[in-house]
Structure 1
């Protein structure tokens, strides 16, 4: 099931990430309109968009969409693990224990 599972994981994680990004973007657009009374900048790099408006939109949208995608992918990985009995092929234990980490070379 390695190759089949890998294809399943690829499709599942992609669908989760795209769905989460779409929901986050829709929510952000609605929230931005409610807060500012204007549509969000279509292209923050456009010189006609105020600098601080562009910075605020880029920071807010990048953060929110990134977090939404990460949470959705984590949920998809949890579903995959419950369904198959193991983590998806490209996920490994993170091993963030600093004491167990190998020494870095200088």
Structure 2
């Protein structure tokens, strides 16, 4: 059975990841519009979308979302360690 700290960490980490994903998606979409002058592809799998554009969107969103999730989770872990005196997932 997970202890309260473990459950608390999972809630905090999940919330941080969710919020960062929302913010990252908006930032990536904004940057895409500014860079390309076009809306991002709504369906990159469609044959109507150029392969280069579909690949570019997939790479940018994949990397951008993962970097945002990583940074948010690390920041949440730092805050959790400050408040609990230990890193998440470390027994003690």
| TM-score of the two chains, using structure 2 as the length reference | 0.91
Query: How many residue pairs end up in the alignment?
Result: 90
More helix by share: 2
CA distance in 2 between counterparts of 1:47 and 1:23 reads 29
Q: Structure 2: state its 5+ residue gaps.
A: none
Q: Which residue of 1 is the match for residue 46 of structure 2?
A: 46
Q: Which residue of 2 is the match for residue 75 of structure 1?
A: 75
Q: Structure 1: state its 5+ residue gaps.
A: 93-106
Structure 1 ranges of 4+ moved more than 6 A: none
Q: Which residue of 1 is the match for residue 30 of structure 2?
A: 30
RMSD: 1.5
CA distance in 1 between counterparts of 2:46 and 2:65 reads 21
CA distance in 2 between counterparts of 1:44 and 1:8 reads 37
Q: State the secondary structure of the residue aligned to 2:31.
A: helix
| TM-score of the two chains, using structure 1 as the length reference | 0.79
Q: State the secondary structure of the residue aligned to 1:33.
A: helix
Cα offset for 1:48? 1.2
